[in-house]
Amino acid sequence: VWNDHNNETCPATWSQCTGVAQVRWALTGNKGYVPNENLPNVFMAVATDLGDPTSPYGDVHIRYKPEAASRLAAGALNVAYGMKDVYYMGPYGANATCKIDGNNADFMINFDNVNSDGLMMKNPTGFEYYDSTSKAWVYIKTDIFKIASNGMSIGFSIAGGKSVTSIRYDWYQAPCNPDTGIYNCAVYDKKSMYPAGPFIVDVA
């Protein structure tokens, strides 16, 4: 449901698709989260962990409707009904730093919109860094990660001459290992078990 430009007080909402990453990003006004300054009166359900590759209706039309609906309901209570104590949407990347020592690199990513119980990291998949030297995104393969209350670190090997300027998460079709079932994203809010949505952040 999209709001009429002549009626900006009417909240709009959608459930994030599990397909093409560029579509997921564009739906948020290129921010990765809503509401924001470009889309001030909208809310969404992050559904990247509800992929359904065997759906008879096509993988875009998932069968996990109750799960997506409960997340949309939380957003409606917070945004449309003003119940600001109701948590919704899940964490999103706020900023990142990177330290490189020889062929070893370590990212520290901080998240916003995290509940009091902090983050949960199920696996280290879905992260890429942008190498400005080759002008290409490089997938991070690692089993080295640590979790903190509002952040996480990832250690990995890096070839010499790389220049890391950005990091992105779940920026490809069908993230979160849908072939192995639902609820398999890397990062979740521990209390609500809402997944972090796809994001891009510059590296300081």
pLDDT in tens, 49-104: 988 888 888 777 788 889 999 999 999 999 889 899 999 889 999 999 988 888 88
What pLDDT score was predicted for residue 26? 83
Name residue 97's beta-bridge partners: 108
Residue 36: pLDDT band (50, 70, 90) is confident
pLDDT in tens, 127-179: 999 998 899 999 998 888 888 878 888 888 887 767 889 999 988 877 888 88
